[in-house]
Amino acid sequence: MRAILTLNAGSSSLKLGLFSEDLETLAMGHVDRIGGAGGLKLTDGAGGALPVPEAGPEGFATNAAALQTALTAFRGAFPALEVVAVGHRVVHGGIHHAAPERVTETLMAELAQLAPFAPLHQPHNLAGVRAALEAFPQAPQIACFDTAFHRNHPFVNDSFALPRRFYEKGVRRYGFHGLSYDYISGELAACEPALHAGRVVVAHLGSGASMCGLKGGQSIASTMGFSALDGLPMGTRSGQIDPGVLLYLMDQEGMSSAQISDLLYKDSGLKGMSGISNDMRELEASNDPHAQEAIDYFTFRIRRELGGLAAALGGIDALVFCGGIGENSAHIRARVCEGMEWLGITLDAGANAANAREIAHGPVRVLTIPTNEEIVIARAARGVLRG
């Protein structure tokens, strides 16, 4: 059975998708806690559980080991499996990579140079590519960039007020979660063509969180900037922060760049503010006032960015929620929409509680659309296969 494999390799997790050449979903896999007490979940195209073979700690020690463990499970479920192409999510494509590309050693070297732009993601993405190159040396490998969807922003949305030489060197706003926004744009084009042609704000809310303003299906502005730290607070990432705070941490707290990086990427956001967890489900269930304050700040920042993106678009026709929190937390959606009637948003409480697709009855439509980054990667890989 000929199939396309998609990989999304993170620091401690690995998401996999298996698709037919007609892009039918055959199976999905998720490995978490790589490097520790790792585990694998495997489902078929309908979401039903598939058997997972026994694997000790060595089966999840590295991205390469986790990939082999997952592939063993896939081959057990599909004995005649032949992987004909592998598509990869790569977080950062820099200035020059604005479309899916076949992986070469030259491309890998260029992408490795972008690791300082995305230190939490890029090295692990590339480790996943290396592991797949070893596992499937004959199959085309295709890199799909999270930044690519945002590469046609107006200058004012991509620049910082720094001397121009820094912009020319690549110190500019890139935007991320582009594969997710690409999928949502495609869904709107297929199912809501009038909205696709209009002004839409998409809120991708999960452990990583950002928002994007779409006009005619194209990205006009994004809350994330030079790095995946900017904009909204996230599970463990700070989001927007005054640069003066970083100078203070260096000069007055004596923190090194590595310590500040760990603080901003790993110990801030919902986890840092609450002192409890980076998991929104745990915070919603907690009676600790710090958990509530973290939720308050999270939703406040979303509302603030919503107003800013509506201004950048010259108005708003729809708000779309996606991502793990956006798709599943009725409470967060309600908090975001609360008091936004001035913008034309009037939430339908019953539809929201039922996790309906359409959850508002005001002039601005509000939709919940599950995102699917894997199918975007699979489409790109098939496109390369077909020349």
- Quick one: tokens of 7? 């990989």
Interhelix angle 257-266/243-251, nearest 10 degrees: 130
Q: Would you place residue 62 in the very low, low, confident or very high pLDDT band (cuts 50, 70, 90)?
A: confident
The pLDDT assigned to 58 comes to 82
Q: Are 40 and 33 in contact (CB under 8 A)?
A: no
**Averaged pLDDT, 38-56:** 87
Tell me how far apart the alpha carbons of residues 235 and 367 are, in angstroms, rounded to a whole number.
Answer: 23
The answer to whether residue 57 scores a pLDDT higher than 80 is no
Higher-pLDDT residue of 12, 198: 198
Tell me how far apart the alpha carbons of residues 140 and 11 are, in angstroms, rounded to a whole number.
Answer: 24
Q: Are 173 and 147 in contact (CB under 8 A)?
A: no
Tell me how far apart the alpha carbons of residues 4 and 25 are, in angstroms, rounded to a whole number.
Answer: 10
Q: Which residues belong to the active site? A: 146
The pLDDT assigned to 292 comes to 98
**Averaged pLDDT, 124-134:** 91
Q: Which residues contact 250 (CB under 8 A, 6 or more apart)?
A: 256, 257, 260
Domains of the chain: residue spans and CATH: 2-145 (3.30.420.40), 193-373 (3.30.420.40)
Angle CA 68–71–76, to nearest 5: 130
pLDDT tens profile 145-161: 999 999 989 999 999 99
pLDDT tens profile 251-305: 999 999 999 999 999 999 999 999 999 999 999 999 999 999 999 999 999 999 9
Average pLDDT, the chain: 94
Look at 55-69, 176-190, 358-372 and tell me which has the smallest mean pLDDT. Answer: 55-69
Beta strands 318-322; 365-368: pairing state: parallel
> Which amino acid, one-letter code, is at 294?
A
Report the half-sphere exposure of 382 (CA within 13 A, side-chain side).
16
pLDDT tens profile 93-105: 999 998 999 999 9
The pLDDT assigned to 53 comes to 80
Q: Containing H/E element for 191?
A: helix 178-191
pLDDT tens profile 187-197: 999 999 999 99
